[in-house]
Every structure is written in C-alpha cells, then in structure tokens.
Amino acid sequence: MDAEQLREYGHRMVDFIADYYKTIEDFPVLSQVQPGYLRKLLPSSAPVDPESLDQVLKDVQTNILPGVTHWQSPNYFAYYPSNSSIAGFMGEMLSAGLNIVGFSWITSPAATELEMIVLDWLSKLLKLPDEFLSTGQGGGVIQGTASEAVLVVLLAARDKFLHRVGKNALNKLVVYASDQTHSALQKACQIGGIYPENCRMLKADASTNYALSPDALTEAISHDISNGLIPFFLCATVGTTSSTAIDPLLLLGRIAKENGLWFHVDAAYAGSACICPEYRPYINGVEEADSFNMNAHKWFLTNFDCSALWVKDRNALVQSLSTNPEFLKNKASQTNMVVDYKDWQIPLGRRFRSLKLWMVLRLYGSQNLQDYIRSHINLAKHFEGLVAQDPRFEVVTPRLFALVCFRLVPFQSDLDLANKLNHELLDAVNSTGKIFISHTIAGENHPALQAAKSTDSESNSGI
C-alpha cells in the first residue's frame, strides 16, 4: 500500500462522506428504485484496466445513492435506530486501517484485551452483575448481531445439557419465550437442531402489555416435564421489536433457576437506555440471567456491527464452540492464560470491533450518552403527545422508550378494513420519501396475523 495515495484517497473519501451527511435530507429517505435497477446501470463485468477514484465516486453519486435507504437521515423512523457517530466512524476507520484478524490472543493481543476491557466498562455502566465481568468466570464478547448472540448461547446451553443427559436427548430439549420474541431465536433453534415442536412461543397479549407471563411459563414447563421433555432454555426480551414490551426478568429468572434452565436476556434495542439510572430498573432481575445481550450498533452511537454479549460461564461457550487444529496452536493459548475469542463465536476470523465502542465511550463519555438516550425518549414522548391530541389516531401499546406504536382509530369494529387503511396510509407516507416508518401487528388473535402465520412461520414482528 502506498501511504501517500491512501492519504490522498482517504481525504477525498472523508470529504465525500461529509458532503453526503450535509445533503442527506435531499434524498428520499426510503429508496424509490425498482428491483434490478442497478444491473441496468453498471457494466456486466469488472474493468480490465484500473479506473480513477473520480469515476468511481461519480458512479456512487449517480447510481448507488439512489438505491440507498438513508438509515442515518433525521427523517428515518423505521424498524429501530442504527445510529452512527463521528466517534464510531473513527473507530471503524482505525479498524479498517489496521485490518487485523483477531481470532486468537496471539493474532493481536490488543484486539482481545481491548474487547475484554471495553465490555467490562460497558457492563459496569449497565450495572450488570459482577459475574459478567472478565475478571471472573464470565466475560463479554462482541458478536456481529443479536442473532449470533442468541445462537451461540443456545448452542452452549444445548451442549451443557446434552453432556449431562446424553446426546440422544436432543429431541427432548425445550426452548421457551414469548411470541413477541425476535425471530432470531427461531433461527437459532433451527440451526441448533432444536425440534420445532419443542419451541414454546408462549402467547403474550394486551392483557400483559405483550410481556411473557411467569404463570404461563410455569405451566408450560410443568406440562413439558410431565410429558418427559427437558426444559433447557428461556429467552426473555427487554424491549421487544414490535412494541418494546418488557418481560419480567426477576420472576422469569427465578423460574428458570428453579428448573435449571439457561436464562438469556435479549435487550438488543432497549439495553442502551439502561445506562440511565431512571431506565436501569427495566433490567432488574438480570442478576438471574446466564447471558445478556445489547446491540451497541442500535442505540449506542456505534457504527454497525457491534453486538455486546455477556456470559457468566465463558467455559460453556468454549466447550461448545472451540476447535483446536494444529495450525492455530500457540504457547499463549496452550497455557490457558488468554482468551481466544474464536471459541466464543461461529466464525474464526474477527474484526477489531472494540475500537469503535472504545472511541464512542471515550469521545462522548457516559454523561453525554445518557443525555442522548434521554433526548430520543423525550422526542418520542412529544410525538406520543401529538398523536394523543389528534382524534384520527391512537397510541396502541404503552410507549416505554423511543418507539411509538400508533394507528388510525378503527371505525366500527372491522379489523380487516382498519388494517387495510393503516397499510394504505403507511405506503402513502413512505412513498413521499419525506419520512420512513414501518409497521407491525400486535396481538395474537388478529385475523391478519393468523393469515400471515399460515403462509409464513416467522414471528409476528413487522421487522
């Protein structure tokens, strides 16, 4: 690599990106292109001779940006936040610049050690139990996504159980969660070989504000035990994807403990808010959890991807995921003095992702991060108030964080018609390109949900 060319190109790329941010509101926030648009605009094979950066940037401006949905636009309100920041961006740049592949401690000691330290910092900000700190038997690790996080802990729990009860018992292992849980759990079960008929997605409806009922869990566990099945994994969510419902961790955790289940808490979105003392009570009971996950790439100003996972027993991950071929053996690993993160995740290779989280924590500080969370929640409260004042609309589920679920007030009780009208409104709003919002269906008995379920076994999340 020619360092001077890097400097020149790097400066021009930063200028390009800075200009993009300056003009981001000029673009329709939701891309308005049609499927296949890009193939018509780009050549069908790669160039034989090198092209200039100017030519490439011109193509980005003319052909790529129209096909971008602008997640960083202030007019983007869909799905969940995925906020980048200057600090996160700097961390990404540094990580790309160093471009290490830190699967074992020896492959870049700083990458492993910084990750351990930064996740300890974040754990302390969230006031997680000390067992999640890397100084004991547990520790934190950065996964790419919450989906990978739930997968690795499900595999760890599965193997821990199978080790105890025998490999042939896989068809007896049962997973529990509410039907509001993200479909990532379902995918983890599919990959982990959990039998589909042993995945209990327990109904959570308006009567519990879409939270998992401890009574329903107890009943399901007793029923399964009496049928000779083996309850082994409970996934609770703090801030469900559809409506930010909060499963009652303390009560659920106690049930998990009494029955010997691995207890995972998915706080992918709402976990970030828990650095504020006033929102921390939402994860009370996390002391009972075996693992806890929040996505710093959602609501913590850390550029995608950065999903923080903590476990109390890191050996459980290692026992399930470790491989030790000759070519990876080294003194440090063999003395057991170091963490080799390759054994805590699915892939071997891993990026230096802790740099961006470290930059975010250092360049902003926890006070500013708390204020940032509060400002989002205040904006959501303001919007909720505006909806409440408008007789055409209603807020459908309690607003706890920065998600407001609202709809057109259904006239008469024709839910199908109400659903159709809400969809038409959503499409009309999104087609303007001025803002981008997304939908869900709350409520198990909704006819539209039943219809969707019969064609699509995914969860009822609109995401």
Residues near ligand PLP, by CB under 6 A:
80, 145-147, 182, 184, 237, 239-241, 266, 268-269, 295, 307, 463
* Cβ-contact 243, 405 below 8 angstroms: yes
Q: What is the rounded distance in angstroms from the CA atom of residue 30 to the CA atom of residue 44?
A: 27
Nearer to ligand PLP, 245 or 418 (CB): 245
Q: How far is the CB of 114 from ligand PLP (least distance, A)?
A: 21
Q: What is the rounded distance in angstroms from the CA atom of residue 179 to the CA atom of residue 232?
A: 18
Question: Residue 305, preceding bond cis, omega within 30 degrees?
Answer: yes
Q: How far is the CB of 292 from ligand PLP (least distance, A)?
A: 12
Q: How far is the CB of 418 from ligand PLP (least distance, A)?
A: 25
Q: Which two tokens stand for residue 3?
A: 């360092």
Q: Which two tokens stand for residue 84?
A: 């980048």
Nearer to ligand PLP, 123 or 307 (CB): 307
Nearer to ligand PLP, 204 or 268 (CB): 268
Nearer to ligand PLP, 111 or 150 (CB): 150
Q: How far is the CB of 422 from ligand PLP (least distance, A)?
A: 21
Q: How far is the CB of 265 from ligand PLP (least distance, A)?
A: 10
Q: How far is the CB of 459 from ligand PLP (least distance, A)?
A: 10
DSSP H helical segments within 278-399, as ranges? 296-299, 314-321, 331-334, 354-389
Q: How far is the CB of 295 from ligand PLP (least distance, A)?
A: 5
Total count of residues recorded for the chain: 463
How many CA atoms lie less than 13 Å away from 85 in the CB half-sphere?
A: 23
Nearer to ligand PLP, 184 or 194 (CB): 184
Q: How far is the CB of 307 from ligand PLP (least distance, A)?
A: 5
In sign, the C-alpha dihedral spanning 20, 21, 24, 26 is negative
Kindly report the backbone phi and psi dihedral angles of residue 80, in degrees, each rounded to the nearest multiple of 5, phi listed first. Answer: -150, 160
Nearer to ligand PLP, 92 or 266 (CB): 266
Nearer to ligand PLP, 104 or 237 (CB): 237
* Cβ-contact 210, 238 below 8 angstroms: no
Burial annotation 63-95 (CB, 10 A radius, 16+ → b, else e)? eeeeebebbbbebbbbbbbbbbbebbbbbbbeb
* Cβ-contact 84, 303 below 8 angstroms: yes
Nearer to ligand PLP, 147 or 259 (CB): 147
Q: What is the rounded distance in angstroms from the CA atom of residue 119 to the CA atom of residue 126?
A: 10
Q: How far is the CB of 160 from ligand PLP (least distance, A)?
A: 23
CA distance to 37, 190, 282, 380, per residue, from 244 (Å) = 36, 25, 11, 13
- Strands 406-408 and 262-266 turn out to be unpaired
Q: What is the rounded distance in angstroms from the CA atom of residue 113 to the CA atom of residue 329?
A: 19
Nearer to ligand PLP, 155 or 184 (CB): 184
In sign, the C-alpha dihedral spanning 211, 214, 216, 221 is positive
Nearer to ligand PLP, 241 or 397 (CB): 241
In sign, the C-alpha dihedral spanning 51, 56, 62, 64 is positive
Q: How far is the CB of 298 from ligand PLP (least distance, A)?
A: 7
Nearer to ligand PLP, 116 or 235 (CB): 235
Q: How far is the CB of 176 from ligand PLP (least distance, A)?
A: 16
Q: Which two tokens stand for residue 315?
A: 């050996």
Of residues 247, 143, 132, 126, the one with CA closest to residue 154:
143
